[in-house]
Amino acid sequence: MPNFKRIDRITQEVKKELSLIIRELKDPRIPLMTSVVNVKVANDLKVAKAYISVMGDEKTKNDCIAALKNAAGFIRREIGSRVDLRYTPEFVFVLDDSIEYGSHISEVLKNL
């Protein structure tokens, strides 16, 4: 059995729950093609940096990140109720374009 640290298990659980919560949000600025690519939780559980991928143009991406920042308090409360932790981390949302970049590379390779 691999030797996982406690913070790694917490990070995976927070990522899973964050994905579910984002799907449940009813903000029209958050498109359906929004996914949580990665989450990094600090060792002291005070801050969690969430890397979010959004398919669409720049306005859609910026609106989505703004909506998530606006809902950060709600998201934190939901994470606190779903994941039993001593401290519930504050979320910092970062736009990640790795999925879109991978799609672009796939198209370029297909056209060769």
Q: Pairing between strand 90-95 and 47-54? A: parallel
Nearest to 66 by CA among 33, 97, 40, 31: 31
- Half-sphere exposure (CA, 13 Å, Cβ side) for 7? 11
Residue 15 lies in a domain: yes
pLDDT at residue 98 tops 90:
no
Residue 39 lies in a domain: yes
Residue 1 lies in a domain: no
Which range of residues forms the domain containing residue 106?
6-111
Residue 80 lies in a domain: yes
Residue 42 lies in a domain: yes
> Into how many domains does the chain fold?
1
Whole-structure pTM value = 0.84
What CATH number should be reported for the domain holding residue 11?
3.30.300.20
Helical ranges in the chain per DSSP H: 6-24, 58-70, 72-82, 98-111
Cα maximum dimension of the chain: 53
pLDDT tens digits for range 20-51: 999 999 999 999 989 999 999 999 999 999 99
Cβ neighbours of residue 84 closer than 8 Å, sequence gap 6 or more = none
Residue 51 lies in a domain: yes
Nearest to 82 by CA among 25, 26, 13: 13
